[in-house]
A and B are shown apart, each in its own frame.
Chain A
Amino acid sequence: NAGVTQTPKFRILKIGQSMTLQCAQDMNHNYMYWYRQDPGMGLKLIYYSVGAGITDKGEVPNGYNVSRSTTEDFPLRLELAAPSQTSVYFCASSFLGTGESGKLFFGSGTQLSVL
């Protein structure tokens, strides 16, 4: 089982460049999430999706965009990268959401540096 696959693992961007972080899951999960993890700051939710064609903002959506055209894929787009977007990005998925029986499956992360 591949689970949740994120690419790339590492990336360095220059200020103002754009890129897309890829995320795919093969568990037929309805719910998918993008988090960023800053040192000593825990996890912050960027965007989430409850199914194909449906996305919604999390706590820190500014500077990012997402789309969910299929159940499997949930790419995160960074437009006009800024140093404040230097972080580790995690994609996650779940079947029932994060309710009582919810369980998130995480990808291995993308370490992004904006210089």
Chain B
Amino acid sequence: GDSVTQMEGPVTLSEEAFLTINCTYTATGYPSLFWYVQYPGEGLQLLLKATKADDKGSNKGFEATYRKETTSFHLEKGSVQVSDSAVYFCALSDEGENAGNNRKLIWGLGTSLAVNP
């Protein structure tokens, strides 16, 4: 079945460092891909998404490009801030023929990021 694999954390960086969080997926068909972020003590919120190959999602300085050839959707940010400390989840939306309008999200395990001043 479909699955999402994220790099294990925790990831610890200094402020202004470059961030990459790897995400690869296995899916039949043409899934949509998402990054969600969970700040301490809060629920998850959508960070960015891409719906087809070569699309780039971006938000708050974060970017991720949908790479069909490598089945990847790596999250990047050029200069992280302390306020970026959170858990990041990669997810895909099952776009199978029988999914209808309620395609369920399949989640990675999350990657914890800590940014030190």
**Residue B89 contacts which of A43, A58, A101 (CB distance < 8 angstroms)?**
A43
Please count how many residues in chain A sit with their CB below 8 Å of the partner chain's CB atoms.
26
Asked if residues A98 and B105 are in contact (CB atoms below 8 Å), the reply is yes
Assembled-state Cα–Cα distance A10/B42 (Å): 13
Interface segment, A61-69, A70-78, A105-113? A105-113
Dominant secondary structure of chain B at its interface with chain A? loop
Give the interface residue-count category, chain B: 20 to 34
Q: Which residues of B contact A43 (CB under 8 A)?
A: 44, 89, 105, 107
* B46 CB to nearest A CB, Å: 5
Q: Which residues of B contact A109 (CB under 8 A)?
A: 42-43
Q: Which residues of B contact A98 (CB under 8 A)?
A: 93, 102-105
Q: Tell me the chain B residues, 82-117 only, with Cβ under 8 Å from chain A.
A: 89, 93, 95, 99, 101-105, 107-110
Asked if residues B109 and A42 are in contact (CB atoms below 8 Å), the reply is yes
* B interface residues with partner A (beta carbon < 8 Å): 32, 36, 41-46, 49, 51, 89, 93, 95, 99, 101-105, 107-110
